[in-house]
Chain A
Amino acid sequence: MSREKTLVSTDWVLENLNNSSVVLVEVDEDTTLYQGGHIEGAITFHWRDDLQDGLIRDLISKEKFEALLSKNGISNDSTVVLYGGNNNWFATYAFWYFKIYGHHDVRLLDGGRKLWELKGLPLVSAVPTRTATRYVARERDNSIRSFRDEVVAAIGTKNIVDVRSPAEFSGELAAPAHLPQEGGQIKGHIPSAKNIPWSKAANEDGTFKSDAELRDIYAAAGVDLSKETIAYCRIGERSAFSWFVLHELLNVENVKNYDGSWTEYGSLVGVPVAVGA
């Protein structure tokens, strides 16, 4: 893929507000944002209620994903455009999710909700009604998802990229600074991980930096992208953002998102942990 196929601009969205083949989906960390106003015609997925299994810690099943998309009027041939707050963290997580289940045309609004707001573009409160469909998902594509055993085995061999803030990487903070610092996990990072915060890939307005700038970030950190790469953060959303940068914008193969991330790794018994910068 490339950014021409995976990113759309605010202008593109404005031009396609009445395009019936395009479905705008807002996915936020702060799930009250949608109710307070959203892009005309957009529906919303709740990152936890809609996208987490709820009983076990996992993605929802193929059948539940099919039911979610069918209920919301998304077809297999729909162009799904995701956007969200907080620099598209949860929207890129949803993008990764759509790829896990094999949706063929899913895109991201570059800059997300933030750029839309900074440009003063209109938000509406009307919630659209969409005709239900019969969506058929593919079996999960686990080539873009990493699990704990692979991560432990990857220490010192594959690229492990910790995309959290430097303060979380070093062990100073247990969670992003907009959340209370009371995680049940110990603090620190996976040994041999390189700290390349997701934010290095984004401009201040939430848009992605250029391909050349993005490649430089990884080169400067000494990451050999010809090797397999695993990205992680705290719960897998910010690392989905960095997965998107590597896999979708820079066309790097063999990149996985470890969605168990630090909340899983930092709770495992007996695994090695590093602290400090």
Chain B
Amino acid sequence: MRTCGATPGGPSLAGVDLSKQTVIQGVILRDGESTQADATGVPNGSPVERAHVRLLDSSGEFTAEVPTNKGGQFRFFAAPGSWTLVIQAHGARVEQKVSATQGTPVDLVITL
């Protein structure tokens, strides 16, 4: 897992007003592939397209869900606070807790 926004695993943040949005995003990769970042910070591994990423609030209530794109990426526009991601794909299910703040995107690399 990586939470710094400098070399994101999620989609490009170009055009996103980070002063107003609380972004939680990332990329889903298959386990068994290399998940080490290379020299430029781009994740290796096989991206999982059409994984279902579900955002739960601090009480565990469903808030939103998106499928990953061809690059295995997803993004939510949330609110500051504690959230839980549930990632489902064929034969896999992973949970990941995150803490989001406005202005600094949470950017994750999650392996299934």
Name the segment of A44-52, A126-134, A176-184 touching the other chain: A176-184
Given contacts A118-B89, A118-B90, contact A177 B77 (CB under 8 A): yes
Which chain B residues border A63 with CB–CB below 8 Å? none
- Report which A residues bind B (CB closer than 8 A): 30, 33, 36, 85-87, 114, 117-120, 165-167, 172-173, 175-182, 197, 199-200, 204-205
Total inter-chain residue pairs, C-beta < 8 Å: 77
Which chain B residues border A114 with CB–CB below 8 Å? 52, 67, 88
Residue on B with the closest CB to A168?
B63
Which chain A residues border B61 with CB–CB below 8 Å? 165-166, 197, 199
The reply to whether A167 and B79 contact each other, CB–CB distance below 8 Å, is yes
Q: List 10 other contacts, CB 8 Å, given A167-B63, A197-B62.
A: A86-B67, A87-B65, A117-B90, A118-B89, A166-B61, A167-B57, A173-B78, A177-B55, A177-B76, A200-B62
Q: Is residue B46 within 8 Å, beta carbon to beta carbon, of the partner chain?
A: no
Secondary structure of the B side of the interface? Answer: strand
Secondary structure of the A side of the interface? Answer: loop
14 contacts between A and B (CB under 8 A): A36-B50, A85-B67, A86-B67, A117-B89, A165-B62, A167-B79, A173-B63, A175-B77, A177-B55, A181-B21, A181-B77, A197-B61, A197-B62, A205-B88
The contact size tier of chain B is 20 to 34
The reply to whether B91 and A178 contact each other, CB–CB distance below 8 Å, is no
The reply to whether B52 and A178 contact each other, CB–CB distance below 8 Å, is no
The reply to whether A30 and B57 contact each other, CB–CB distance below 8 Å, is no
Q: Distance (Å) between the CB of A111 and the closest chain B CB?
A: 11
Residue on A with the closest CB to B100?
A177
The 8 closest A-B pairs by CB, nearest first: A199-B62, A177-B64, A120-B90, A178-B64, A165-B63, A177-B76, A178-B66, A176-B64
Given contacts A181-B77, A197-B62, contact A166 B57 (CB under 8 A): yes
Which chain B residues border A166 with CB–CB below 8 Å? 57, 59, 61, 63
